[in-house]
Amino acid sequence: MLYNDTNDVPEGPVVVRRPVYDAGMKLEAEVKAGPGGPAFENAREKVHACHAAGDADGEKWWEEVFNFLMWSECVAAGTETIILEDGETWDDEEEKVIRAGTNQPRSDRENR
């Protein structure tokens, strides 16, 4: 797992898939309900536990949750969170959600 150790504050929005968001919020609630560090630390521990157990899928899943929680922790207060539902994607250039089943913008086409 690659950890970013720069001091750059990420800019938003925070873009996350619904299942990852839900898992992250569940970890946040668990941390608030009992003793423990930040939720992203709990996710990092799960990444390492899955790695040690040889569970590549679990490791990948918890790494995605960790990245979401860490990104959320690092952005400026009030930064928008975009939650992608199944089949949706985020277009960085247009800064908008591309809904499942809709025509996606063509990058090879001139704006007229």
pTM of this structure: 0.75
- pLDDT band with cut points at 50, 70 and 90 for residue 33: confident
What's the confidence (pLDDT) of residue 109?
47
pLDDT digits (tens, 9 = 90+) for 80-104: 999 999 999 999 888 899 998 765 5
Whether 36 shows a pLDDT value over 80: the answer reads no
Q: What 3 state SS string does 16-75 have?
A: EEHHHHHHHHHHHHHHHHCCCCCHHHHHHHHHHHHHHHCCHHHHHHHHHHHHHHHHHHHC
pLDDT band at residue 72 under the 50/70/90 scheme: confident
